[in-house]
Amino acid sequence: MPFIIILLIILSVAIGVLTLGSTIVRLILLIKYHKLNKKESNTNLTARDLARKVLDANGLGEVQVEKAGFFRMLFFGNHYSVRKKTIFLRKNIINKNSATALGISLQKVGHAIQHKNKAKGFRARYVLSIMSNFSPLIFYGLIIIGLVIDFLTGFKGFGNAPITVIFLIVGIVYYMLVFFALLLTIKIEKRANAMAMEMVRKANLLSEEDTNDLENLLHLYIVADIIDFVITILKIVQLILKLLLQILRNKEQN
């Protein structure tokens, strides 16, 4: 039991440090995003127009470029939808020709091109990334449902295992799938970032300083996602250890 308590303390410290790191990275992202969104590019094309031009040049005339609605913006932000074959951009960039607007729109074009070329792992990544957006809700929802069922059934469980524990295992398996999605996402996002930056440099859309800042911005998105996912995994381990500690304490009392 002391060993579990020590682990919980270490996990709590690690989660605290990573949460602080995540907050700092997200703050830097926000500052860079708005800073670059005020800097005009060397073209009069808006993010929508540039995306349309590059899509057509790559034989992707069927892919649409639309403004993200409220719920899409809330859950997915700027993204490429495989199912709808549409690039959705936030209203604050879709009709702008800023560094942020053009860079993000081209990054999403990179996703569309990978989809067309049937890039390895792209479709699986898309499905699993949707699952990851709702992972906290699903995971804790399963725990709550398990607790309710156990309470209503007098904690008889299924066989010798409480329903809560069974649902916890299901939630952990779910997060393993999300972890797989993250591995695919990193590879595909890096590829999309590289494609976007190549297009920016080739067309001389931005100054050298703004190009470097944009490249850093796109990279920070990946870093932020990795940190947030690690925090989530540590919180799951923390929850499991707390449940284990409670079980051991109950056994000692009995």
Give me the residues paired with residue 83 across strands. none
- Eight-class DSSP state of 230: H
Determine the pLDDT at residue 219. Answer: 94
pLDDT for position 250: 65
- DSSP reduced 3-state for 161: strand
Distance CA 206, CA 44 (A): 12
Closest CA to 93 of 47, 130, 124, 49: 47
Number of compact structural domains in the chain: 1
Residue 203's alpha-carbon distances to 113, 180, 254, in angstroms, are 18, 35, 73
In this predicted structure, what is the pLDDT of residue 158? 62
Q: How far apart are CA 130 and CA 80, in angstroms?
A: 12
- Residue 119 backbone zone (phi > 0: left; psi -120 to 50: alpha; other: beta): beta
Q: What does the block give as tokens for 30?
A: 């926000």
∠ CA(74), CA(170), CA(147), 5° rounding?
85
Q: Which of 122, 135, 149, 160 is nearest to 233 (CA)?
A: 135
C-beta of residue 68 within 8 angstroms of C-beta of residue 88: yes
Residues 6+ apart with CB under 8 A from 165: 146, 157, 243
List average pLDDT for each run of 10 residues in the chain, which is 254 residues long.
84 94 95 93 94 96 94 86 92 94 96 89 70 71 80 67 76 74 79 95 93 95 87 80 74 65
Residue 213 carries which side chain, given as an amino acid letter?
A: D
d(CA 162, CA 146): 8
Residue type, 152: L
For the beta carbon of residue 173, count every other beta carbon within 10 angstroms.
10
Domain boundaries, position 184? 2-253
Q: What angle (nearest 5°) sits at the alpha carbon of residue 82, between those of residues 78 and 85? A: 85
pLDDT of residue 215: 95
Which tokens sit at 126? 């898309």
Q: What are phi and psi of 84, to 5 degrees?
A: -90, -10
CA distances from 129 to 28, 59, 75, 92, 173 (A): 24, 26, 11, 24, 15
Contact 108, 130 (CB under 8 A): no
Query: What pLDDT is recorded for position 175?
Result: 72
